[in-house]
Amino acid sequence: MEKTNSISLTVNRQIEIEAGLVLAPGAYSGTSKQFGFPRVEEMSWTKPEYVLELSEAELRCIGKRYLRNAKYEVTKFVDRGDITVTATDGPAHDATVPG
C-alpha cells in the first residue's frame, strides 16, 4: 500500500537543491510518500520521502524560465533540518500497489 499526503515545507535557509538551483528561505508546497506493509495486527509504514513542488511562477523567480513546474526529492534536506515539514494537508492519494 502507498500513502501520499499534500504537505507544506519551510526552507529554513538558502539551499542548493541541485547544481545551479538555489531555493530562498520560505514556504513551499510538496508531498510526502510512505509505503505500508501489512503485519499481523497492524500496518507498518516506511519512513516518509519528501518531494518539493515548484510552480511555473516560482521557477521563473529563480531563473528557470522554460519549465512549467518541477518536483525535487528533498528528503535528505528534511533529515538534515534544512527544510521543515510545517503542515500536512491530508491524503493527496492512497493506492494499493499490487505486490
pTM of this structure: 0.81
Residues 53 and 29 sit within 8 Å (Cβ to Cβ):
yes
Q: Which residue has the higher pLDDT, 32 or 94?
A: 32
Q: What is the pLDDT of residue 60?
A: 85
Category of 25 on φ-ψ map: left (φ > 0), alpha (ψ -120 to 50) or beta: beta
Q: Classify residue 23 by burial, with Cβ atoms within 10 Å: 0-12, 13-18, 19+.
A: buried
pLDDT score of 29: 94
Q: What is the DSSP letter of 54?
A: E
Q: What are the tens digits of pLDDT across the range 33-90?
A: 999 998 888 889 999 999 999 998 888 888 777 778 899 999 999 999 999 998 776 6
Task: Assign 91 a pLDDT band (cuts: 50, 70, 90).
Answer: low
Stretch 11-36: mean pLDDT:
92
Residue 92, pLDDT score: 53
